C-alpha cells in the first residue's frame, strides 16, 4: 500500500543528511551556514507540500492519549501515515531546524557582535535536535520491531503492507 509519496521521501532523506552534516561540521563556517539554510528550506518545502496536498499534520491530544494507552497495552495500531505520537516528534524536529536557522543567522548579525547569548541559544537548540534525532531513530527501530515492518525501508520505497 502506498505510504509516503516521493516528495515526502526526498525531503526526509535530504533533511536527515543536511542535519547530520551540520551536527558533525559545527564550526559555523560557510558550508555549515549554507547547509543549515538548506535544511530550513527543505522543512518549508515539506510544509508547503502538505498544504498543497492537504496532508493532515495536526497533532491530536485525544488521539495521542488513546494511542499511548494502546501502546502500553502492547497493541499500538499500525497506520500508513504518522502515528499520533510520532507526529509530535515530527513537529519538534521541524521547529528545532527552523529555530536553528534563525539563531544561526542572528548570531552573525552586527547587532549581536560580542554578545554570546545567541550562540549559546544556538548550541542548546543543536543539543536538543541531536537528542530528538536519537529518540526519533530509536522509536523508528522499536516500532519496526513491534509492528514487524521495516519502517526505514518504507521511507525509501514509499510502501507499507496493508493494515
Ligand atoms: C537528522 C536526522 C533525521 C531527521 C531530522 C528526521 C526527521 C524526520 C521527519 C521530519 C519525519 C516526518 C516525515 C514527513 O512527514 O515529512 C521523519 C519520519 C521518519 N523518519 Fe526520520 N529523520 C532523521 C533521521 C532518520 C533516520 C536515520 C531514519 C532511519 C532509521 C529515519 C527514519 C524515519 C522513518 C521510518 C520515518 C517515518 C515514520 C513512520 O513510519 O511513521 N529518520 N523523520
Ligand atoms: C540544521 C541546522 C543547524 C544545526 C544542526 C547547527 C548546529 C550547530 C552546532 C552543533 C554548532 C556548534 C556549537 C558549539 O560548538 O557550541 C553550531 C555553531 C554555529 N552555527 Fe549552526 N547549526 C545549524 C544551522 C546554522 C545556520 C543556518 C547558521 C547561520 C546562518 C549557523 C551558524 C552557526 C555559527 C556562526 C556557529 C558558530 C558559533 C556558535 O557556536 O554558535 N548554524 N551550529
**What residues does each domain of the chain span?**
6-156
Give the atom of ligand 1 at the shortest distance from the alpha carbon of 8.
Answer: 16
Helix runs in the chain, H state only = 6-24, 30-53, 61-72, 84-107, 117-147, 151-157
DSSP at 110: G
Ligand 2: residues within 6 Å at CB? 19, 22-23, 26, 28, 32-33, 36-37, 39, 97, 100-101, 104-105, 107-108, 119, 122-123, 126, 129
Residue among 140, 142, 160, 163 whose CB has most ligand 1 atoms within 8 A, to mutate: 140
Residue among 126, 128, 130, 136 whose CB has most ligand 2 atoms within 8 A, to mutate: 126
Ligand 2 mean position to 120 CA, how many Å?
10
Q: Grid coordinates in use for 9?
A: 521521501
Q: How far apart are CA 89 and CA 21, in angstroms?
A: 20
Q: Are 67 and 76 in contact (CB under 8 A)?
A: yes
Q: Are 152 and 1 in contact (CB under 8 A)?
A: no
Q: Grid coordinates in use for 142?
A: 522499536
**pLDDT at 131 > cutoff 90:** yes
Give the atom of ligand 2 at the shortest distance from the alpha carbon of 37.
Answer: 27
Position 36 confidence tier, pLDDT thresholds 50, 70, 90: very high
Residue 11 CB–ligand 1 contact under 6 Å? yes
Nearest CA to ligand 1 atom 40: 151
Q: How far is CA 114 from the centre of its chain?
A: 32
Pick the CATH number of 6-156 from 3.60.140.10, 3.40.190.10, 1.20.950.20, 3.30.565.10: 1.20.950.20
Position 115 confidence tier, pLDDT thresholds 50, 70, 90: confident
Q: What is the pLDDT of residue 114?
A: 87
Round the average pLDDT of the chain to a whole number and report it. 96
What is the pLDDT averaged over residues 142-155? 97
Of 144, 154, 152, the closest CA to residue 16 belongs to: 152
Q: What is the pLDDT of residue 134?
A: 98
Amino acid at each position: 500500500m502506498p505510504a509516503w509519496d516521493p516528495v515526502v521521501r526526498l525531503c526526509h532523506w535530504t533533511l536527515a543528511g543536511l542535519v547530520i552534516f551540520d551536527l558533525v561540521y559545527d564550526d559555523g563556517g560557510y558550508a555549515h551556514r549554507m547547509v543549515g539554510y538548506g535544511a530550513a528550506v527543505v522543512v518549508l518545502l515539506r510544509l508547503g507540500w502538505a498544504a498543497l496536498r492537504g496532508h493532515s499534520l495536526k497533532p491530536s491530544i485525544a488521539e495521542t492519549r488513546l494511542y499511548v494507552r494502546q501502546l502500553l497495552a502492547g497493541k499500538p495500531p499500525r497506520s500508513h501515515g504518522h502515528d499520533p505520537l510520532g507526529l509530535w516528534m515530527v513537529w519538534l524536529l521541524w521547529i528545532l531546524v527552523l529555530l536553528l536557522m534563525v539563531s544561526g543567522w542572528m548570531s552573525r548579525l552586527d547587532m549581536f557582535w560580542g554578545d554570546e547569548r545567541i550562540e549559546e541559544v544556538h548550541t542548546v537548540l543543536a543539543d536538543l535536535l541531536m537528542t530528538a534525532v536519537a529518540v526519533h531513530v530509536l522509536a523508528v527501530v522499536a516500532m519496526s520491531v513491534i509492528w514487524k515492518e521495516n519502517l526505514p525501508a518504507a521511507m525509501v520505497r514509499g510502501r507499507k503492507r496493508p493494515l
